Amino acid sequence: MSDIEERAEPSDPVARAASLVDLGIQAANAYGREDLVHRLRSTRERLDAPDVRVLVVGEFKQGKSTLINALLNSPVCPVDDDVATSVPTIVRHGADVEAVVYYEPVDGADGADSLRSEVVPVTRLADYASEVGNPSNERGVAYVEIRIPRQLLETGLSLVDTPGVAGLGSAHGRMTAAVLPSADAVILVSDASQEYTEPELSFLAQAAELCPTVVCVVSKIDLYPEWRKITELDARHLEDRGYDVPVLPLSAALRRVAVEGNDAELNAESGFSALVSMLRDQVLTRAHDLAAGRAATDILFVASQLEGQFAGEREILTDPETSTRVVDRLEQTKKNVEELRSKAARWQTTLADGAADLNADTEHDLRARIRTVQKTAEDMIDDGDPVDMWAEFEPWIEQAVATEVTATYRKMYEGIEALATQVAEHFGDEEELVLADLLANQGQEYLAGAAVRDDLEFKRQGALGQTFSALRGSYGGFLMFSMASQMVGLAALNPAVGVLTLLVGRKSVREEKDRQLAQRRVQAKQAVRTYIDDVNFPISKDVRDTLRRVQRRLRDSFQARAEELQRSTNDALTAAQAAAQQDASGRQARLRDVDAELERIRWLRQQAEDVGGPAASGRSGS
């Protein structure tokens, strides 16, 4: 392994949070709170196996897979002149090199757990993840996961090579934009052959809005002498639009030579050392800080539950005359918490009604958006000729539909967060809810599999066809006018008959053109409706399935919270009742023990606030 291979060290907040969670587990065990132990063990597992996702995106054949290979100094992603990534490929850390293919769920299956997986040789990845080996994803692959022992990936960094078959302006690109909120960073790859295109700038606008960190990479600088000018133009485009995004020129070829020769200076010249530093110092640091903050939030909740067990008892031990008031207050709290646990609890109703309303609103939003696109598409067809417009129309409608579907999903995410906040209000719980992991499926496989028909053949009537149409019309007109002329005593070859015959022939040609144009428009509209149906049906089902999964997980999470609150309230009430029965000497001895326990819990709380920062400190008083 080369000495210049970069390492991403665990951040100090994560290490501190992990140690603090271990202390919290010990404290919860000491107080007999198995429920809180279970919560903190889940927190510890998330700290031990972080997932910091970096999406590598770009137009077709811009060097995304090559960048990942060069970054990791390993040919993990298929790369060739005729190879294009057709399904998402996730590269993460593993003890050994391994490739796993995950297939799309079968009909009727629900959730990510229903995905069927298969371990395949790394050398055969192109058969599953490329357009050549798996055209139009005929194998039904959801995504490919590659595990590789690399230092850069040890602390949870995972690189996602996204499909670029149809470009950022296509359905693939628009649905890549749909997963931006769940990504920790985005690397936009564009080679040095030309400055940014409009689809690239449009994608950057979405990325800058939805993702915390965006990095622009100018690839293949070793192949294009004018790369400095292209880099400057790209940076100017970003500056003109107000995007504070770094633009890094890279050369995978120089990186490869630098690693082989262990040349740190050449590695810096390749640009990859700057990219790695950015991933390490910005992306990983931010993700680790967030993970530590979420762990601190869990610690604060546990500390508040443990502290609540002693608060009422200490109040009675300090002033026995308050025992009746304290016990009554705890009895009322117990009653309130028991109501939270019941199936008729108001939060249950809020969750059920809110999920039903959100489902209806989301489906209506999707239908309205798709209907608008369809109406616009049919108006465009009515205003033009499919022969002239189809080449541009086909990618337009795919982009338009994908854009509207993405907007629907984004609106659904916002509704889910609002619903979770609304339910949490019944608990008096101000803690932030992390919902990114609730949305495993975001519909991109459906859009990737749906396409407007490209086998339609729209043809105008050629010169020969027009001649035959004219002859047919002229012949019929000639017979009709000749017979009419003879009936009134005129010659059959009267010049007027010839003129009328030509006019009839011309009219026949025009009517045939109109008929064929109308037929082409009907054919084009039918293709649009078929495409809309192919997208709308599975996306509608996915929306319902996603909301159902979210509702179940929120229900289970809040139910667990209600049970934890009930356990804390019962313990506090029992301790308060026992304190009320103590004599004077017993109260003094118990008070010293309670103060000692509260001091330990407050120390744990203070440590959690230090790890979590201002956000955790703000929540600690809730």
Residues 6+ positions from 220 with CB-CB distance below 8 Å = 63, 191, 192, 193, 227, 251, 252
Please give the distance of CA 202 from its chain centroid, rounded to a whole number. 17
Residue 498 belongs to a domain: no
Q: What are the residue ranges of helices labelled H in 425-494?
A: 444-449, 463-487
Residue 235 belongs to a domain: yes
Banded model confidence at residue 436, pLDDT cuts 50, 70, 90: very low
The Cβ of residue 603 has, within 10 Å, a number of other Cβ atoms equal to 12
Cα 611 to Cα 614: distance, rounded to the nearest angstrom? 9
Residue 508: the pLDDT is 62
Tally the domains of the chain.
1
Mean pLDDT of 502-513: 62
The amino acid occupying position 525 is K
| CATH number of the domain where residue 56 is located | 3.40.50.300
Residue 375: the pLDDT is 93
Nearest to 203 by CA among 179, 232, 229, 233: 179
Residues 6+ positions from 273 with CB-CB distance below 8 Å = 4, 6, 264, 267
Contact 103, 140 (CB under 8 A): yes
Residue 159 belongs to a domain: yes
Residue 498: the pLDDT is 53
Paired tokens of 114: 């229903």
Residue 399: the pLDDT is 73
pTM for this model (two decimals)? 0.70
Mean pLDDT of 482-494: 48
Mean pLDDT of 1-22: 70
Residue 195 belongs to a domain: yes
Phi, psi (degrees; rounded to nearest 5) at 56: -105, 110
Strands (E), 251-303: none
The Cβ of residue 155 has, within 10 Å, a number of other Cβ atoms equal to 19
What is the sign of the dihedral through the CA atoms of 264, 153, 144 and 174? negative
Give yes or no for residue 606 having a pLDDT over 50. yes
Q: What is the pLDDT of residues 98-145, one digit of tens each?
A: 999 888 766 544 444 457 888 988 888 888 877 777 777 788 888 888
Residue 124 belongs to a domain: yes
Residue 112: the pLDDT is 46
Element (H, E) at 15: helix 12-30
Residue 343 belongs to a domain: no
Q: What is the dihedral of CA 113, 118, 119, 124, to 10 degrees?
A: -130
Pairing of strands 98-103, 116-120: antiparallel
Q: What share of the chain is helix, strand, coil (3-state, %, to 5)?
A: 70, 10, 25
Q: What is the pLDDT of residues 525-545, one digit of tens each?
A: 988 888 888 878 878 887 888
Domain span including residue 210: 51-288
Residue 79: the pLDDT is 73
Residue 506 belongs to a domain: no
Residue 458 belongs to a domain: no
Q: What is the pLDDT of residues 388-431, one digit of tens each?
A: 888 888 878 877 887 788 778 778 878 888 888 888 888 764 34
Q: What is the pLDDT of residues 33-75, one digit of tens each?
A: 999 999 899 889 888 888 888 989 888 778 888 899 899 888 8
Mean pLDDT of 358-383: 92
